[in-house]
Amino acid sequence: MTAPIYGRVALIGLGLIASSMAHAMKAAGLAGEIVGYAKSAESRAVALEIGFIDHAADTAAAAVVGADLVVLAVPVGAMEAIAAEIGPHLAPGATVTDVGSVKQAVITAVQPHIPEGVHFIPGHPIAGTEHSGPRSGFATLFRNRWWLLTPVPGTDPEATLRLRHLCEAMGAKVDEMDAPHHDLVLAVTSHTPHLIAYTMVGVADDLRRVTDSEVIQYSAAGFRDFTRIAASDPTMWRDVFLTNKDATLDILGRFTEELFALQRAIRLGDGAHLHAYFTRTRAIRRGIIEAGQDTAAPDFGRAPAASEGTTG
């Protein structure tokens, strides 16, 4: 056990990410006490029953009173209203962070509501599963995963360092970058792949009606992995695409061009093109394994309850 890094932590939203943070903080003694708020009374009751929060607040404003650290862990589209509500109740010297999957839109939505003397340091843990809600969290979710911080110019370096320590103490590796760069990187590594998975599962669902469940029954590894990604929370992913519009459309445009090139190679029987392409992509997979971001085990290295899943 280390000494607490923050005395009182307020979690706004009590889903996968917030509950995993709470479990990790409790396991390592990183917070003096944890107060939680979620939209529904049911989620607040579940969080109390599991015990990953010490107190539940009836409103977001009440939750942040006296908090040293406030974590906004709600869908990106809900951030602005929450920020407007809590702004007047934030303690001087407190740090506000968020875990949203998109950064520029969150800064635009939240920053104007942060009073003078309160540090706002946006963040994004690159860790997740396709599950959601207060029962889905676990203490090791962030272990060996990246946690990206996107502080705006002029942010107090000591406040950033303290938040960095918390992320590291929860097992994450921390990096800093600016928000537009973050949004472009995530459009490539997460957002566009999710859209492609949603599309592929949608196409197969249409086919299923034709083939009478054969798609489900004989589902092979490639398709099963798509279905796992496409089972991710619809609200969260709706908000990701609504708020990371430009970067996602840019990457999707490039994707479509490549797809047409592959389609043409298939039509023309251009095996050399296909082979060269698949050789290049195989090397990328090797790079991910060498960087420790996945394992080389078969079936994508997934044990039944593995921590690697989808990442927003």
User: Per rule CB under 6 A, is residue 310 in the interface with ligand NAP?
Assistant: yes
Contacts to ligand NAP from residues 215-254, by CB under 6 A: 233, 236
Which residues lie below 8 Å from residue 80, measured CB to CB, with a gap of 6+? 109, 110, 113
Smallest distance, ligand NAP to C-beta of residue 8, A: 19
Name the residue whose CB lies closest to ligand NAP: 15
User: If binding is defined by CB under 6 A, does position 101 make contact with ligand NAP?
Assistant: yes
Does 87 participate in binding ligand NAP (rule CB under 6 A)?
Answer: no
For residue 27, give the 3-state DSSP assignment: helix
Residue nearer to ligand NAP on the CB measure, 101 or 192: 101
Selected range binding ligand NAP among 7-15, 62-70, 215-223, 260-268, rule: CB under 6 A: 7-15
User: Does 36 sit near ligand NAP (CB under 6 A)?
Assistant: no
Check: CB of residue 231 under 8 Å from CB of residue 130: yes
* Cβ nearer to ligand NAP, comparing 109 with 118: 109
We find the least distance from the C-beta atom of residue 183 to ligand NAP, in angstroms, to be 12
Binding-site member from 17, 69, 70, 96 for ligand NAP (CB under 6 A): 17
- Evaluate whether 227 touches 219 at the Cβ level (below 8 Å): yes
**Residue 205: what are its φ and ψ, rounded to 5°?**
-65, -40
CA-CA distance, 75 to 79, in Å (whole number)? 7
DSSP-assigned beta bridge partners for residue 6: 31
| Piece in contact with ligand NAP (CB under 6 A), picked from 38-46, 176-184, 277-285, 298-306 | 38-46
Among 123, 125, 151, 171, interactor with ligand NAP by CB under 6 A: 125
Regarding 171 and contact with ligand NAP (CB under 6 A), the answer is no
Name the β-bridge partners of 308. Answer: none
The burial class, CB within 10 Å (0-12 / 13-18 / 19+), for 49 is: exposed
Count of residues interacting with ligand NAP (CB under 6 A): 29
| Segment contacting ligand NAP by CB under 6 A, of 1-9, 121-129, 145-153, 205-213 | 121-129
Which strands form 119-120's sheet, in the order they lie side by side? 55-56, 31-37, 6-12, 69-72, 95-98, 119-120
Q: Using the minimum distance from each CB to ligand NAP, give the nearer residue, 119 or 194.
A: 194
Structure-token pair, residue 175 = 């990096």
Among candidates 166, 174, 173, 129, which has minimal Cα distance to 150? 174
**Angle, CA 71 vertex, CA 69 and CA 76 arms, to 5°:** 155
Residue selected from 95, 96, 110, 128 as contacting ligand NAP according to rule CB under 6 A = 128
Q: Is 259 exposed, middle or buried (0-12, 13-18, 19+ CB in 10 A)?
A: exposed
Tokens of 79: 């951030």
Does position 73 bind ligand NAP by CB under 6 A?
A: yes
Alpha carbon distance 73, 87 (integer Å)? 16
Q: Which stretch binds ligand NAP (CB under 6 A): 8-16, 115-123, 215-223, 287-295?
A: 8-16
Q: Which of 30, 31, 74, 121 is in the footprint of ligand NAP by CB under 6 A?
A: 74
Min dist CB 143 to ligand NAP, Å, is 14
DSSP single-letter state for residue 171 = T
Residues at the contact surface with ligand NAP, assessed by CB under 6 A: 13-18, 38-40, 43, 73-76, 78, 82, 99-101, 124-125, 128, 132-133, 233, 236, 310-312
